[in-house]
Structure 1
């Protein structure tokens, strides 16, 4: 249920869609609570002093606030009446993302709390507010100014600087509600099995009832492909398999991203549908053969671009759904076939578009600020919520076929010593948590510098050397870190699939305040020559399964994108594409 005037009106969970829902984006009451004294001052019980447009953060222009100073705490308030037509069902209230520590009250009762700015959470309003009833929703979001916290690229200084940017506080993704029966379906886990030509489904339920069954129907453009049904009264997460007949098997891959539809139904003992939702899936595999990372058993060189997901007017929030599509289309137009989603858990709509457009994605989390070298540095004070949030992200995004790899940590900085440190423990915990949640995709323990898990599935490096000849010499072998070759940052490379996951970053921008890596080219011709030289080093290296160029767009003062921050062209995109279009050495192997 969406009004045409509601911002970001599209369905926020496209891989698990129910018919009935209510979008709660739009104008909310709002108040900044710089002293975090709002609870004592009674902000749960009164109107707030300002207004904000949700889902845009108060730092953004689109929110109507545009205040980029620090917000220790912010409050939201909105009165909602849930549709009477939802009668007989309980109401779930969903927050797709709120930064960072969130408490929710409804009709004066605390109904939920959540820590973490990149992942969503849900509160059940049973006994507090239901269909046809009035609900006053109050939200407090706290956001620390500094210290270990998974904040990604959000600046801990007042202004933007270097490669840190405008902060995001409070609600920054869609708020919405939906009705569900007392016993209902929860989000499925869909695992493609290309070798068997099948999909394996795990269908979590809120509870069990005697005689209940679950049914899944697979469809394609020609109609129903197959159906499977199993009992739903023995397990909290019934499992079933949808076997695709040989003549109906179509792979998902770049250039032909075929998606099957999946209808999910919960049936009662009489065979009546109690709950239903629609999903989709792609039939593809990711495998490792020596130092080769393969898609559907074939070598597909991953021409990735670093995408940080910032917008001039929305900060971390895309102004509209079309902007998400546009970013993928701009990348494809420049010759990339995927992205490393950097320091941010992207909203799920982006992954939906990547799925349907055949765009390869590496999922990543935001740094907690682990930049201290010694025993007292931030490396030794990770936020325990980091692992919890990463598990939430993995659970949400598990079934998206576009995701071909995971990387929970980025550029952790600490030399390996005789002592096992908190960073060692945290890196291993994040790696093992990822492998436990998903055994179907490769996991990179930490991108860039400190590889501390010996059994990491892949290995990578970051190298921003600008001279192609020097770059080639450095990349001839397993490059770890220029200037730190004698420092034991990482465990030794042991022959895993290897890629340079950050390079380039060529400075090409306007103004004295802009920056990029190395010296700015003297003209656009020099830019293109440098780009071609750097890319050619990696395309010609038979040990590389891919690369990731920094970056898709400029972001504020960091002006090293293929496109400007407003997504307009600043380079010859056809020329960029041509450089990347030739067959890589590893693809010929």
Structure 2
């Protein structure tokens, strides 16, 4: 137990699909480490046991971060990680899976000098079955990661492509930045379960898949709420996969600030014997677009969102603790926001777990900046990873919409946006999709714009004139409004006491001026029933961008009076909620 407490980020990394504690091992902590500036490590066979590594790093923190113990902030072409793992004879009688939360960008994994697999994409989880490469006792695990965010071939999000952080771009992340872990599973095991709820019909539909080729396999799902069993069903997995629907007797809905969640235990049987058990959860809720608004469970809900970029001063992309993930949601909700736009980064599953358990709405977005959208061939790099993202996070009730791109500034092949919209809709029929946030829309379910006007009178006049037929759009010659729900997905962004940083527009000179500006801008959006949502920039400062409602370290930036004014403004009843 003492040893477990010393391992950073040692909480279970995949809480919606969790096996018992004895079936997994966290591999976070000290690893041997080496820079590979010439990207020659494969030629030099750094994956072999005799290779020399001259440094140490604390996983899962990237080498640019202070928490990694390395804190090297220049460009890094490639890096190598190495550690030993001990495997018992009994574990080799079944299957051993090696999981990575995320590695930026191109990862190749070796076990005992042999290649176990590779993965491209810096933001999504992946795993390999490494059983055949293991032996009883000590085994050598080596990870290579190549990363170059300057060539336009990969999404980088807000990672700086210049030496220094600048403008809206911040410290880079290279290599491993989420939990690495082993999982010990039977030869035939439950691979995945997808859940889809329908509040009107009081149903939840499961699509379960197993790994292994057993002819006589069944799956039992035991659904409970607050410890009381609600339903139990057993179905056959004749082809290794099955879809079945369960009707719930008395539905408790997942909602804003009301995180009603059903627990479910999945048990896989082969020839009548239980071979695998996994615990999960789901929420019953339905998102719809109608009457020019976003409906949740049959009623219009005005989305009061905050822009959250998910950066941390000591861990960069990686939160220092699980509690830090939860705390960011608490800071937002305490100010009357009911959700967040997760901006230019794919957040780890633990964040989504807390959003699920706190009734917090979020929009899933890819880190699209840095990708050259003028080349259709980049669809392979972007699209493959985006599909993995949607697949991984589909089950989270907190996610109420998808947005693959942010601010595509034109000139690109419009088919790229059309394709990603179509792919997302094909994978998920239950959520709205914004093709590209801000500009320029090609095909979108919700019409969103960004507007950092700081003059309250101009802003109020602009959005007071919005109707269901005519909206404000400074790029109306590049994109065309077709009557969709209307969303101001970035606004505000004023700095406060920013000695070296920046914010949008002129900075307020007093706290009173800041309060009046926040209240004026926000109220203008909430009082027009033709506007369905806003997203204020932003939750915290991030390095030189000092326009957050909190400091970068999450400490308070304003007096309590300012925070109360923000809270009072956000908690007004919006026009669409009076219907």
TM normalised by structure 2 equals: 0.95
SS at match of 1:329: helix
C-alpha displacement of 1:546: 1.0
CA distance in 1: counterparts of 2:202 and 2:471, whole angstroms: 39
The equivalent of 1:466 in structure 2 is 454
CA distance in 2: counterparts of 1:481 and 1:169, whole angstroms: 38
C-alpha displacement of 1:385: 1.3
Q: Is the 8 A contact 2:369 2:406 kept in 1?
A: no
Q: Residue 582 of structure 1: which of 564, 572, 577 is its match?
A: 572
Provide Cα deviations, 1:67-87, integer angstroms capped at 9, x if missing partner: 111000000011111244535
Q: How does 1:89-104 map to 2 (within 5 A)?
A: 89-104=94-109
Provide Cα deviations, 1:132-185, integer angstroms capped at 9, x if missing partner: 432211111011140222110000000110010000000000000101122211
CA distance in 1: counterparts of 2:88 and 2:542, whole angstroms: 42
CA distance in 1: counterparts of 2:66 and 2:318, whole angstroms: 11
CA distance in 2: counterparts of 1:187 and 1:320, whole angstroms: 27
C-alpha displacement of 1:586: 1.0
Distance change >3 Å, CA 519–CA 536, structure 1 → 2: same
Indicate yes or no: 2:481 matched with 1:493: yes
Provide Cα deviations, 1:487-523, integer angstroms capped at 9, x if missing partner: x221x21111111000000111331x21000001111
SS at match of 1:4: helix
Distance change >3 Å, CA 443–CA 92, structure 1 → 2: same
The equivalent of 1:48 in structure 2 is 53
Q: How does 1:291-370 map to 2 (within 5 A)?
A: 291-369=292-370
Q: Is the 8 A contact 2:81 2:144 kept in 1?
A: yes
Give the number of aligned pairs.
566
Q: Is the 8 A contact 1:290 1:496 kept in 2?
A: no
C-alpha displacement of 1:458: 1.1
The equivalent of 2:553 in structure 1 is 566
SS at match of 2:329: helix
User: Which is further off, 85-94 or 464-473?
Assistant: 85-94
Q: Is the 8 A contact 1:464 1:517 kept in 2?
A: yes
User: Which is further off, 88-97 or 311-320?
Assistant: 88-97
SS at match of 1:238: strand
Q: Is the 8 A contact 1:218 1:242 kept in 2?
A: no
Q: Is the 8 A contact 1:506 1:520 kept in 2?
A: yes
Q: Is the 8 A contact 1:500 1:547 kept in 2?
A: yes
The equivalent of 2:147 in structure 1 is 143
CA distance in 2: counterparts of 1:208 and 1:436, whole angstroms: 28
CA distance in 2: counterparts of 1:118 and 1:83, whole angstroms: 32
CA distance in 2: counterparts of 1:379 and 1:504, whole angstroms: 33
Indicate yes or no: 2:237 matched with 1:232: yes
C-alpha displacement of 1:480: 5.8
Indicate yes or no: 2:195 matched with 1:190: yes
Distance change >3 Å, CA 509–CA 117, structure 1 → 2: farther
Q: Is the 8 A contact 2:462 2:472 kept in 1?
A: no
Q: Is the 8 A contact 2:149 2:155 kept in 1?
A: no
CA distance in 1: counterparts of 2:497 and 2:445, whole angstroms: 37
The equivalent of 2:389 in structure 1 is 393
C-alpha displacement of 1:288: 1.4
CA distance in 1: counterparts of 2:246 and 2:139, whole angstroms: 41
SS at match of 1:394: helix
CA distance in 1: counterparts of 2:313 and 2:195, whole angstroms: 36
C-alpha displacement of 1:481: 4.8
The equivalent of 1:404 in structure 2 is 400
What value does the CA root-mean-square deviation take over the aligned residues? 1.6
Q: Is the 8 A contact 1:229 1:240 kept in 2?
A: no
Provide Cα deviations, 1:518-539, integer angstroms capped at 9, x if missing partner: 0011111111110001001101
C-alpha displacement of 1:369: 2.3
Provide Cα deviations, 1:325-354, integer angstroms capped at 9, x if missing partner: 000000001110000000000000000000
User: Which is further off, 117-126 or 157-166?
Assistant: 117-126
CA distance in 2: counterparts of 1:433 and 1:335, whole angstroms: 34
CA distance in 1: counterparts of 2:190 and 2:437, whole angstroms: 36
Distance change >3 Å, CA 370–CA 127, structure 1 → 2: closer
Q: Is the 8 A contact 2:158 2:168 kept in 1?
A: yes
Indicate yes or no: 2:433 matched with 1:443: yes
C-alpha displacement of 1:189: 0.6
CA distance in 2: counterparts of 1:299 and 1:53, whole angstroms: 46
C-alpha displacement of 1:88: 2.2
The equivalent of 1:267 in structure 2 is 269
C-alpha displacement of 1:275: 1.0
CA distance in 2: counterparts of 1:366 and 1:525, whole angstroms: 36
The equivalent of 1:374 in structure 2 is none
The equivalent of 1:59 in structure 2 is 64
C-alpha displacement of 1:380: 6.2
Q: Residue 422 of structure 2: which of 422, 432, 453 is its match?
A: 432
CA distance in 2: counterparts of 1:66 and 1:278, whole angstroms: 38
Structure 2: where are the runs of 5+ without partners? Answer: none
Q: Is the 8 A contact 1:70 1:145 kept in 2?
A: no
Provide Cα deviations, 1:2-31, integer angstroms capped at 9, x if missing partner: 722110000000000011100000000101
CA distance in 1: counterparts of 2:9 and 2:204, whole angstroms: 32
Q: Residue 27 of structure 1: which of 25, 30, 33 is its match?
A: 30
The equivalent of 1:418 in structure 2 is none
Structure 1: where are the runs of 5+ without partners? Answer: 372-376, 416-420
User: Which is further off, 159-168 or 213-222?
Assistant: 213-222
Indicate yes or no: 2:9 matched with 1:8: yes
Indicate yes or no: 2:492 matched with 1:508: no
